[in-house]
Amino acid sequence: MQIQIVAVGKLKEKYLIQGIAEYVKRLGPYARVQIVEVPDERAPESMSAAEEALVRQREGERILAQIKGDAYVVALALDGKPLSSEELARHVEELATYGRSHVAFAIGGSLGLAPEVLARAELKLAFGRMTLPHQLMRLVLVEQVYRAFKIMRGEPYHK
């Protein structure tokens, strides 16, 4: 299986980079993982709604440019569907069973995802109702993808 994570912004925090690298390494036997960082749009602290929409649109264009046409797109969104780890594992397994072997996860910037990205997504996924920093979301996501593969294979997950 091919897992792609397309995220807005460049990670600078060493602990996040190391954590993500560890889970990508652990995923090696199960899937090919590609993490693509697209530049975030420069934005002032205070913006009008129109300016915020323009930032999301530009970041969304960058995200969509990285996703192949045959990819099953999962958008991380606060108003998405919350899944348990087991439910995510079943969903990924069903995708693989039915020939959807390229899954692309989209993580927006600090203002969220553009409507165009949400429209392209076949699943909007929420990791609960709490807002998490988009940089931290990458680590949480890659850990949950790893956990999903362990569940799918019936292997123990070492805590």
Q: Give the pLDDT score at 52.
A: 94
Q: What is the pLDDT of residue 106?
A: 98
Overall average pLDDT of the 47-71 stretch: 95
- Assign domain 2-153 to its CATH superfamily: SPOUT methyltransferase, trefoil knot domain (3.40.1280.10)
The whole-number pLDDT of residue 119 equals 98
Binding-site annotation: residue ranges for S-adenosyl-L-methionine: 76, 108, 127-132
Contacts of 59 (CB under 8 A, 6+ apart): 8, 38, 40, 41, 108, 109, 111, 113, 114
Residue 36 to residue 7: CA distance in whole angstroms: 6
Extract the annotated binding site. Answer: 76, 108, 127-132
Over range 99-121, report the average pLDDT: 95
> What's the pLDDT at 159?
60
Residue 132: per-residue pLDDT: 82
Domain boundaries, the chain: 2-153
pLDDT grade for 28, boundaries at 50, 70 and 90: very high
Residue 141, pLDDT score: 97
Per-residue pLDDT, 158: 67
pTM, 2 dp: 0.94
Q: What's the pLDDT band for 157 if we cut at 50, 70, 90?
A: confident
Q: What is the average pLDDT value for the chain, to the nearest integer? A: 94
Sheet holding 123-126, edge to edge: 32-38, 2-8, 102-107, 72-82, 123-126
Binned at pLDDT 50, 70 and 90, residue 150 comes out as very high
